[in-house]
Amino acid sequence: MIDWSHTALTIAVILGSCLTLAGMMIWLERRLLGVWQERYGPNRLGPGGCLQSLADMIKIFTKEDWIPPFADKAVFVITPAIVVITALMSFAVVPVAPDFVVADLNVGVLFFLAMSSLAAYSVIIGGWASNNKFAFLGSLRAIAQLLSYEVFMGLSLMGTVLLAGSFNLSDIVEAQRHQWFVIPQFFGFLCFFMAGLAEAHRTPFDMPEAEAELVAGYHSEYSGMKFGMFFVGEYLSILLLSAMTVILFFGGWHGPWLPPAVWFGLKMFGFIVLIILIRATWPRFRFDQLLTFGWKVVMPLALINLLLTGGVVLWKTGASELSMLP
Amino acid sequence: MEVLFYIAAAVTFLATLRVITHLHPVHALLYLVVALIALALIFYLLGAQFAAALEIIIYGGAIMVLFIFVVMLLGPLAVEQERAWLTPTAWVGPSILALILLGEVGYLIAVGDHTVSVVAETRQKGISIALYGPYIIGVELASMLLLPGLIGAYHLGRRLSREGR
């Protein structure tokens, strides 16, 4: 029997903290970018400026919510919700601590991949429904980029799945009790992290919204809270990327002295700062470089990694497992 | 659980109906995505979690994105074209075929053996052992089928880039 109150509480805590953290990350990013560029960033509202996101939210709610007359209205309105919903749905399988997970699915890794592939629709359809050339160019770029990097994302995770012997995220964390998977799966981690950045369309992979070339890419026509949803969705996917990296490669909640959830939070925070640092320091790629890099460098790397991992796992387990074959 | 199944089945049915009847190609494809997601939910309810996840990743996520990519480029004239094509006479052939299937379903219901037999082993391991054991030839054939496609796409891309220079 499912314990409903426990599940409801877990959902409430995870949803609440995700949305709050996404809001706080907007401030954190602007502040850290400021520090690294030797300026202040938002520092007026609240201690250190940490209430800036609240002010931004009030501003964005009171702005005019304009739907262009030439847009495809129904699709235009639905689109921003897709990115937020898929990102929040993915958090359902994220194990923060032992027994602190909404749905301990047997196919947790695949569920995460499924949600991230559905998230692509928000970008693609958003750009199309805007009926604007710049937005459309953004969504064309997004399709090529997201489809390519989705492939490597799945492939790079399979090494981890092989080592843990399970698609269940809790099992994967449990398998890292003695050694983090980042050591045997270093190339898998590299591929996954790059693919994750590309899926979240973050710098240096933010071609779909390249401000310098495409106005604002796929969300050029969006204003008010609809733009806010895209914005929050991007930060949610950064949060998700850090959470998944920690779970799959950096031992999840494992760590000495501190309680599990704290370790999980600390590791996640480290990756969030790393992602912001990457944005602060790395210029954007050119689009053809992005695709060439993906198919000619990351793809073979992920495949070779998978092949070697499979070979090593087979060598270690020996032929005894194989005798299960009919 | 049965209620969930009927809801998912109704969503699949209605969405598929809209895929066929909708005049706007991109909207029709979006309905198809909804139908695929609902189908994945039905797989999940039948206990085939792995198939459900793959349904969304491969069909919902990858293949439909490619479909939409191509159809997106059609532009606003596509609706008029579709209206011209979707005449009452176009319904005759599919309707006859669908009626045959309906007859079969009716016969099966009347005969009475309508217990859904959930596939014995739907977990990843069972599927993998089946695929790489007795069905290895099917896997090899599928990969051989994909290889010419890959080479063909590479060839086309190469020629275009040379002309573009």
A161, amino acid identity = V
Q: Which amino acid is at B91?
A: W
Please give the single-letter amino acid code of residue A211: E
Position A119 pLDDT exceeds 80: yes
Would you say A225 and A231 are in contact if contact means Cβ atoms under 8 Å apart? no
pLDDT at A325 (0 to 100): 45
What the block records as the tokens of A271 is: 């990756």
Do B65 and A75 lie within an 8 Å CB cutoff? Answer: no
**Separation in Å, CA of A154 to nearest CA in chain B:** 10
The number of C-alpha atoms within 13 Å of B152 and in the hemisphere containing its C-beta is 6
Interface touch A124/B60, C-beta < 8 Å: no
- Confidence (pLDDT) at B100: 92
| Burial B135-152, CB ≥16 within 10 A → b, else e | eeeeeeeeeeeeeeeeee
Tens digits of residue pLDDT in A281-293? 888 888 888 888 8
Measure B114 CA to nearest chain A CA, in Å.
29
pLDDT confidence band for B141 (50 / 70 / 90): very high
Answer whether residue B137 shows pLDDT above 70. yes
Nearest chain A residue to B31 by CA distance is A75
Contact (CB, 8 A) for B50 and B123? yes
Percent of residues, chain B, with pLDDT higher than 70: 86
A267/A182 Cα distance (integer angstroms)? 13
Residue B113, number of CB atoms within 10 A of its CB: 7
From the CA atom positions of chain A, what is the Rg in Å? 21
Residue-wise pLDDT tens digits, A147-182: 888 888 888 888 888 888 888 888 888 888 888 888
Residues of A in contact with B50 (CB under 8 A): 107, 110
* Topology of domain B2-134, CATH: Four Helix Bundle (Hemerythrin (Met), subunit A) (1.20.120)
The nearest CA of chain A is from the CA of B27 a distance in Å of 8
> Using the 8-state DSSP alphabet, how is residue A69 labeled?
T
Which is it for the CA torsion A121, A126, A131, A132, positive or negative?
negative
C-alpha atoms less than 13 angstroms from C-alpha of A29 in its C-beta half-sphere: 24
A326 pLDDT above the threshold of 70: no
Nearest to A29 by CA among A65, A6, A56, A60: A56
* Residue B127 CB contacts under 8 Å (≥ 6 apart), including other chains: B50, B121
- Residues of A with Cβ-Cβ distance to B143 under 8 angstroms: none
Q: Which of B40, B65, B72 sits opposite A120 (nearest CB)?
A: B65
Token pair, residue A307, equals 């092949």
- Cβ contact (<8 Å) for B65 and A118? no
B33 inside 8 A of chain A by CB? yes
Of all residues in chain A, the one with the smallest CA distance to B135 is: A326
Q: How far is CA A324 from CA A164, B126, B128, in A?
A: 19, 11, 12
Picking from B43, B68, B62, B63, the residue whose alpha carbon sits closest to that of residue B53 is: B43
Q: What radius of gyration, in Å, describes the C-alpha atoms of chain B? A: 20
DSSP string, A92-109: GG--SBTTB-S---TTHH
Q: Which chain A residue's Cα is nearest to B57?
A: A114
Of chain A, the percentage scoring pLDDT greater than 70 comes to 95
What are the pLDDT digits (tens) for B9-34? 899 999 998 888 888 888 888 899 88
At B162 the pLDDT is: 55
- pTM for the model stands at 0.83
Distance from CA of B142 to the nearest CA of A (A): 18
User: What residue ranges in A111-182 does DSSP mark as E strands?
Assistant: none
Can you tell me the distance from the alpha carbon of A164 to that of A173, in angstroms, rounded to the nearest whole number? 8
Cβ-based neighbour number of residue A317 at 10 Å: 11
Is the distance from CB of A116 to CB of A87 less than 8 angstroms?
A: no
Among A230-244, A267-281, B4-18, B113-127, the range scoring the smallest mean pLDDT is B113-127
Domain chopping of chain B, boundaries? 2-134
Beta bridge partners of A100: A97
**Over 50: is that where the pLDDT of B104 sits?**
yes
Contact with chain B for residue A146, Cβ under 8 A? yes
Q: What local confidence, expressed as pLDDT, does residue A4 receive?
A: 79
- Give the CA distances from residue A55 to residues A3, A15, A26, A34, A225, in Å, rounded to whole numbers and listed in that order: 38, 21, 12, 18, 13
Interface contact B61-A111, CB threshold 8 A? no
As a whole number of angstroms, the distance between CA A158 and CA A187 comes to 12
Cα(A188)–Cα(A309) distance, integer angstroms = 10
Average pLDDT (A25-41) is 86
- With an 8 Å Cβ cutoff, are A107 and B66 in contact? no
Query: What's phi and psi for A44, nearest 5 deg?
Result: -95, -45
Whether A110 sits inside 8 A of B50 (CB atoms) is yes
Q: How far apart are CA B112 and CA B83, in angstroms?
A: 42
